[in-house]
Amino acid sequence: MERLDEYMSRSIEMFERAKRVTPGGVHSPVRAFKNVATYPRFIEKAEGCYLYDEDQKKYLDFCMSWGPLILGHQDPEIKEAVLSALDRGWSYGATERYSLELAEWLVDHVPHVEMVRFVSSGTEAVMSALRLARAATKKDKIVKFDGCYHGHVDSMLVASGSGLAEQAKPDSDGVSLSTAAETLVCPLGNLSALCEILDAHSVAAVIIEPLPANFGLLVQDQSFLEGVAYECKKRGVLLIFDEVISGFRVALGGMAERTGIKPDLVTYGKIIGGGFPVGAFGGRKEIMELLAPCGQVYQAGTLSGNPVAMVAGLSTLRKIKKNNPYGDLATKVQRLQTEAPTNTQSGAQIKTFAYGSLFWMVMSRSTIPDVITTPSDIPKDMKQLYGDFYPHLLERGVYLAPSGFEVGFMSMAHTDAHIDTLILSLREVAERF
């Protein structure tokens, strides 16, 4: 197919400028479009479900800032609430009404959150929850699952060692061997491997994305998640649900509500800040009260509970509750699943996997399994095919996540007409690809 970059001269020029002053030109790696055969677009503004770039091109957005914008860009109610908060100043570094109201809202609506503390990112939430779990259990090791992402916390940037109960090795330069040694990596879906690890080591907590959505969409069996909870409880190991993506996206109570499993601690990010930098961790009162100033676990933040971000999060959650969009979002995603093309002109297969408002398109020249639950189920050629397919969608004004390992996010701003456009664009590209 044709080369497509000619019309994006300002984005290219700005990206070259950015690379001179910022590593790789970006402030978060996947924004560099390394996995797709085109340049990153510099976005000038966003509204509803559209992005507008510096070259005046408009894109139908299904990345939605990587998940926080379940209401769409610039939702008028959130905007009004944020603007009125700004009128009262934007940081006090003191106790204030909005972090109180957001905390009360969470405790009232999420049964396993008896207490909560706000931070500024999902990474910070995970880092703090792990520290708390270690303090609560007086144990050091943490078990994570291969294929789950928990932000760039040192101890979570690890890959499996050679044996099941082996300690992990650093996945990133700069993570010390001793830090990596505190983490044990277990394969997703493998309960007996988890039991082996829990029996062989002194484990403080098991952390899991109950809906793994950072290595494609690896939907887990209910029985596996229940098994994880059971084996943790039996041994006095804390269970941490990382709901940075799934929290408030698949239900108000996230995957905990969908599965009926009550984690000891939960971490949030993304939707909880309505598009502003917020993270949170919460859970059982007696664990949360180990935090300073009640207890001896230190955790703090200059901008934690920032009032403008708290207002954005609170108004977002209130609007979600009022509109209960989950059925409608899932229906839209199901339409995409049934109507998206299933193969390309040159014979590659396409399958669309989905859960609630999340979707993931897999492409391969070999047979794609009907169920994908672990990273090793993902066809090896998926990354390359998606990367080649992607620019042609962008050219048609459709902006999916710029990596085949990332999921798509449906928002309340997407209408049936937008889904029509997505399906039509996918078909057009598939017919020529």
Ligand X SMILES: Cc1ncc(COP(=O)(O)O)c(C=O)c1O
- How near is the Cβ of 278 to ligand X at its closest, in Å? 9
41 or 150: CB nearest ligand X: 150
Q: Is 270 a catalytic residue?
A: yes
Q: Which residue is nearest to ligand X (CB)?
A: 122
- How near is the Cβ of 150 to ligand X at its closest, in Å? 5
Name the residue among 126, 194, 185, 127 with its Cα closest to residue 158: 185
131 or 150: CB nearest ligand X: 150
Read off the amino acid at residue 394. Answer: L
- How near is the Cβ of 430 to ligand X at its closest, in Å? 29
CB-count burial class (<10 Å; 0-12, 13-18, 19+) for 169: middle
- How near is the Cβ of 279 to ligand X at its closest, in Å? 6
Token couple for 262: 């009550």
44 or 171: CB nearest ligand X: 171
* SS3 (DSSP) at 315: helix
Q: Which of 141, 144, 270, 351 is catalytic?
A: 270
244 or 361: CB nearest ligand X: 244
Token couple for 355: 């859960």
Instruction: Name the packing angle between helices 191-200 and 222-235 (round to 10°).
Output: 10
Q: Is 242 a catalytic residue?
A: yes
Q: Which of 59, 149, 390, 399 is catalytic?
A: 149
- How near is the Cβ of 406 to ligand X at its closest, in Å? 9
* SS3 (DSSP) at 201: coil
59 or 149: CB nearest ligand X: 149
Instruction: Point out which residues pair with 364 in neighbouring strands.
Output: 349
Cis omega (within 30 of 0) for bond into 293: yes
151 or 170: CB nearest ligand X: 151
- How near is the Cβ of 399 to ligand X at its closest, in Å? 18
59 or 409: CB nearest ligand X: 409
Q: Is 79 a catalytic residue?
A: no
Token couple for 150: 């928990």
Q: Which of 242, 332, 386, 399 is catalytic?
A: 242
Q: How far apart are CA 169 and CA 270, in angstroms?
A: 28
- How near is the Cβ of 123 to ligand X at its closest, in Å? 3
- Planar angle of CA 351, 355, 357, nearest 5 degrees: 105
Q: How far apart are CA 247 and CA 211, in angstroms?
A: 10
Q: How far apart are CA 195 and CA 181, in angstroms?
A: 19
Read off the amino acid at residue 111. Answer: P
Cβ burial 27-56 (10 Å sphere, 16+ → b, else e): eeebebbebbbbbbbbeeebebbbbbbbbe
Q: How far apart are CA 140 and CA 193, in angstroms?
A: 19
Which positions touch ligand X (CB under 6 A)?
A: 121-123, 126, 149-151, 209, 214, 242, 244-245, 269, 279
Token couple for 59: 């894109």
Instruction: Point out which residues pair with 143 in neighbouring strands.
Output: 184, 206
CB 237 within 8 A of CB 194: no
DSSP 410: -
Alpha helices in 260-381 (DSSP H): 285-288, 307-323, 326-339
213 or 422: CB nearest ligand X: 213
Name the residue among 252, 240, 299, 303 with its Cα closest to residue 277: 303
Tell me how far CA of residue 98 lies from CA of 249, 255, 272, in angstroms: 22, 26, 13
- How near is the Cβ of 307 to ligand X at its closest, in Å? 19
227 or 277: CB nearest ligand X: 277
- How near is the Cβ of 251 to ligand X at its closest, in Å? 16
CB 124 within 8 A of CB 267: no
Q: Which residues are catalytic?
A: 149, 242, 270
